[in-house]
C-alpha cells in the first residue's frame, strides 16, 4: 500500500528532508559527535526541523504503527516506536530476524535513556557524557514499562543517542524513543545509503528517509555496563582507545570469533554482515594470488567468476582490468568508513567473489576484523 511501482519493481516511498539538501558545513570545533565528511551535517538541533515535510511524514507513519528507515551517523536504521510491541514485532518480521536478537532503543539524550532504564550505573553516565550524541550503545537494566520484545526477552535494554541530524529531527518531532536495528535483512550487509535499504528490504519498509551516505560507515560500539565494568559486546565506530581514555581501568573486550564460532552475546552470530558475493579473507601478501585463483571458479552462466579485490595499496601488474579493484584507506578509521560501501559496490557490480586482504592486528582494527570475520563465506 505504501509502496509504488517503479520500472517494474515494488519499492518503498523515499523522501528527502530539506536539511539533507543544504550544503554541509564543518562542525564547530569541540562539538560532540563524529564524521565531518558526510552529506547531512548541516544542522543538529532537530527540533527546528519538525516542519520539514519529510520529517513530518516519517512521524505520521511511525505514529500509525509503521516502519521508517532513516539515516544515523553509522548505518541506516529500521525505525519503529520502541514502546509499541506490535510495531516491534513488525521490525522482526521485516528483517526476518529471530525474536531473541535484541534491538537498540534510540533516544535524544541521557535523560531519554534513563527513562528506559531500571538502573543507571555510574559508567553509563560517564560514557553517555563522553560519547553522546554519537555511535556508542550502552546496555543497562530494562525498566518494567519497556516491552521485553525489544530486548529479545532479556531483562536489559540497549540505548543510544544518535548524532545524525535527520535521526535527531525524527526523534525530536516524534517525542518518543525509536527501536531501530540496521535496516537490512537478517545476516546481510548493513546499509550506508538509502538505496542499500531499498535493495535489502524492498516494500517491507513503509518509508525511507534519504539523508545521503552515512559518515561512520560501520555500526555503533555496543558496551554492557551492568556489572560495573565496561564490556565491549560489539566493536564499532568508537574504538577501544577512545573508550579506554574515558574508563581506563575497567574495559574488557574479546577478539572476533574464529571461523564458524558464535559469540555469547545475543544477536552476535558468527555469520553476519555478509555480502551476496562469496567473501574470501586472504592473509596479507596472499590476496592477489587468491583473487587470481578465484577466477577459476565458475561464475554466472559458466563464465569465469567476476572477482573483486579489496586491498589497502595499489595491486601489482598481475591484477589486470578484468578485476574490480578497491583500494581502501590504510588507516583503520578511513578503512571502516568505506568497508560496507565497498562490499555493497562489489555486489552491485555483480561480483561472484570478493577477496579481501586481511587487516592488521591491534586494537584500532578490531571493528574491521570483527566484521570481516563474520562476513566471510
Q: Catalog residues that contact Mg ion under the rule CB under 5 A.
A: 182
- How far, in Å, are 29, 63, 277 from residue 375 at the CA level? 36, 35, 10
Instruction: Report what 217 binds from ligand TXA, Mg ion, none; CB cut-off 5-8 Å by kind.
Output: none
Cell triple for 49: 526541523
Q: Which is nearer to Mg ion, 272 or 326 (CB)?
A: 272
Q: How far is the CB of 55 from ligand TXA (least distance, A)?
A: 17
Q: Contact between 268 and ligand TXA (CB under 6 A)? A: yes
Q: Contact between 107 and ligand TXA (CB under 6 A)? A: no
Binding mask 111-140 for ligand TXA (x = CB under 6 A): ------------------------x-x-x-
Instruction: Tell me how crowded residue 7 is: count the other CB atoms within 10 A of its CB.
Output: 5
* Binding residues for ligand TXA restricted to 140-159, rule: CB under 6 A: 151, 154, 156-158
Q: Which is nearer to Mg ion, 204 or 294 (CB)?
A: 204
Laid out side by side, the sheet with 104-106 consists of 3-6, 9-15, 207-209, 68-71, 76-81, 178-179, 104-106, 156-160, 136-141, 221-224, 230-234, 251-252
DSSP 265-303: STT--SS-SB-SSEEEEE-TTTHHHHHHHHTTSB-GGGS
- Tell me the C-alpha distance between 212 and 209, whole Å: 9
Instruction: Tell me how crowded residue 365 is: count the other CB atoms within 10 A of its CB.
Output: 20
Q: Contact between 72 and ligand TXA (CB under 6 A)? A: yes
Instruction: Tell me how crowded residue 8 is: count the other CB atoms within 10 A of its CB.
Output: 5
Q: How far is the CB of 74 from ligand TXA (least distance, A)?
A: 3
Q: In the set 41, 49, 182, 188, which binds ligand TXA (CB under 6 A)?
A: 182
Q: Which is nearer to ligand TXA, 200 or 352 (CB)?
A: 200
Q: Across the strands, what pairs with 280?
A: 355
Q: Which is nearer to Mg ion, 355 or 366 (CB)?
A: 366
Q: How far is the CB of 242 from Mg ion (least distance, A)?
A: 21
Q: Contact between 66 and ligand TXA (CB under 6 A)? A: no
Q: In the set 84, 206, 219, 370, which binds ligand TXA (CB under 6 A)?
A: 219
What does the buried/exposed string (b/e) look like for 312-334 if buried means 16 or more CB atoms within 10 Å of the residue's CB? beebeeebeeebbebebeeebbe
HEC assignment per residue over 52-86: CHHHHHHHHHHHCCCCEEEECCCCEEEEEECCCHH
Q: Is 313 helix (H, G, I), strand (E, B) or coil?
A: coil
Q: In the set 180, 339, 343, 359, which binds ligand TXA (CB under 6 A)?
A: 180
Q: Which is nearer to ligand TXA, 140 or 290 (CB)?
A: 140
Q: How far is the CB of 139 from ligand TXA (least distance, A)?
A: 4
- Interacting residue ranges for ligand TXA, rule: CB under 6 A: 72, 74-75, 77, 102-104, 135, 137, 139, 151, 154, 156-158, 160, 162, 180-182, 219-220, 222, 233-234, 265-268
Amino acid at each position: 500500500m505504501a509502496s509504488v511501482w517503479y520500472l517494474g519493481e515494488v519499492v518503498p516511498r523515499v523522501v528527502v528532508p530539506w536539511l539533507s539538501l543544504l550544503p554541509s558545513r564543518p562542525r564547530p570545533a569541540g562539538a560532540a559527535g563524529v564524521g565531518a565528511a558526510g552529506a547531512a551535517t548541516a544542522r543538529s538541533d532537530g527540533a527546528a526541523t519538525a516542519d520539514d515535510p519529510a520529517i513530518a511524514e516519517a512521524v505520521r507513519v511511525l505514529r500509525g504503527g509503521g516502519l521508517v528507515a532513516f539515516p544515523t551517523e553509522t548505518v541506516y536504521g529500521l525505525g519503529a516506536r520502541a514502546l509499541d510491541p506490535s510495531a516491534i514485532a513488525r521490525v522482526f518480521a521485516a528483517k526476518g530476524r529471530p525474536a531473541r536478537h535484541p534491538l537498540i532503543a534510540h533516544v535524544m539524550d541521557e535523560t531519554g535513556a534513563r527513562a528506559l532504564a531500571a538502573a543507571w550505573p555510574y559508567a553509563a553516565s560517564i560514557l553517555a557524557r563522553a560519547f553522546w550524541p554519537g555511535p556508542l550503545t550502552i546496555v543497562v537494566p530494562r525498566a518494567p514499562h519497556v516491552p521485553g520484545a525489544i530486548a529479545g526477552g532479556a531483562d536489559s535494554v540497549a540505548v543510544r543517542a544518535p548524532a545524525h541530524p535527520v535521526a535527531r529531527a525524527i526523534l525530536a518531532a516524534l517525542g518518543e524513543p525509536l527501536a531501530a536495528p540496521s535496516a537490512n535483512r537478517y545476516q546481510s550487509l548493513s546499509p550506508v545509503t538509502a538505496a542499500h535499504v531499498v535493495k535489502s528490504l524492498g516494500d517491507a519498509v513503509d518509508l525511507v528517509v534519504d539523508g545521503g551516505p552515512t559518515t561512520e560507515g560501520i555500526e555503533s560500539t555496543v558496551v554492557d555496563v551492568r556489572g560495573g565494568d565496561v564490556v565491549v559486546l560489539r566493536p564499532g565506530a568508537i574504538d577501544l582507545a577512545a573508550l579506554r581514555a574515558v574508563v581506563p581501568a575497567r574495559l574488557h573486550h574479546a577478539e572476533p570469533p574464529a571461523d564458524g564460532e558464535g559469540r555469547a552475546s545475543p544477536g552476535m552470530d558468527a555469520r553476519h554482515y555478509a555480502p551476496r558475493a562469496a567473501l574470501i579473507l586472504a592473509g596479507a601478501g596472499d590476496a592477489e594470488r587468491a583473487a587470481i585463483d578465484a577466477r577459476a571458479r565458475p561464475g554466472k552462466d559458466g563464465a569465469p567468476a567476476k572477482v573483486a579485490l579489496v586491498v589497502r595499496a595499489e595491486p601489482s601488474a598481475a591484477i589486470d582490468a578484468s578485476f574490480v579493484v578497491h583500494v581502501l584507506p590504510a588507516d583503520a578509521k578511513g578503512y571502516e568508513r568505506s568497508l560496507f560501501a565497498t562490499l555493497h559496490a562489489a555486489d552491485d557490480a555483480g561480483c561472484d567473489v570478493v577477496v579481501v586482504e586481511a587487516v592488521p592486528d591491534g586494537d584500532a582494527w578490531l571493528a574491521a576484523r570483527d566484521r570481516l570475520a563474520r562476513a566471510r563465506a
